[in-house]
Amino acid sequence: MDSKINESKAKEASRVELFSDGVFAIAITLLVLDLVQILHAPSEYRLLQRCLHHWQAFLAFTIGFITILVCWINHHAAFEYITKVDTKFMWINGFLLFVVTLTPFPTAVLAEYLETEGRMAVAFFGFNYILISIAANGICTYAYNNHLVDEKHREYYSSYKRIYRYAIFYNLFAFALCFVSIVIPIILYVILFIVFAAPKEFSSRFYKIRMNKKNTRKKITSENAEQEE
């Protein structure tokens, strides 16, 4: 009986992940529509000149594609240890999907207004990253706190919760800098791309560091206790 219940819960989690994968796929597909519009817009330029003239659209597509891809990689990593879901979790996951489908807009704003209103354009783009980090943290934190995660990997999964929580403050800091500089926030977002492009590897390193510190504290406490005796 218990095995059937567990199997049913696992299927529910799989359905949520499959639905999410579909939304990610659609969001990435929609990005190319702006590029197609370039061909339909009246212009006296030849094909190559027309593409070069609309370089902003290609920049927006590239940034949007990478952003959604990185989000999908992290979403997949977060779901790897989730064995069951509930209604609240579905709403939290839905918020992440909402932000993902919204991503093409701030990336288009960044590409279109980077030259004329650079700081505001980068800030507009950066605010989307704050929402993404909040949503990612919400998924991992809720799953961890409500025991939706495989108990065998619960301690390891707490590393996901921590890194996404830190990502919120990181993005808030980068967002604040958008009103002061353009270059520095862009560099910070590139670093963010690199780090979260491989969330499992980053989380594993973070987990090992935490365990080493924890073991070191236990060793020191044990040695102090022995000395007191």
Is residue 224 assigned to a domain?
no
Between CA 131 and CA 123 the distance in angstroms is: 13
- Round to the nearest angstrom and report the end-to-end CA distance of the chain: 52
Range of the domain at 188: 2-198
Is residue 73 assigned to a domain?
yes
The predicted structure's pLDDT at residue 1 = 47
Count how many domains the chain has.
1
Is residue 80 assigned to a domain?
yes
Residue 90 predicted with pLDDT over 70: yes
Residue 127: pLDDT band with limits 50, 70, 90? very high
Is residue 225 assigned to a domain?
no
**Under 8 Å between Cβ of 42 and 119:** no
Is residue 146 assigned to a domain?
yes
Q: What is the mean pLDDT of residues 82-94?
A: 92
User: Within a 10 A sphere around the Cβ of 189, how many other Cβ atoms?
Assistant: 20
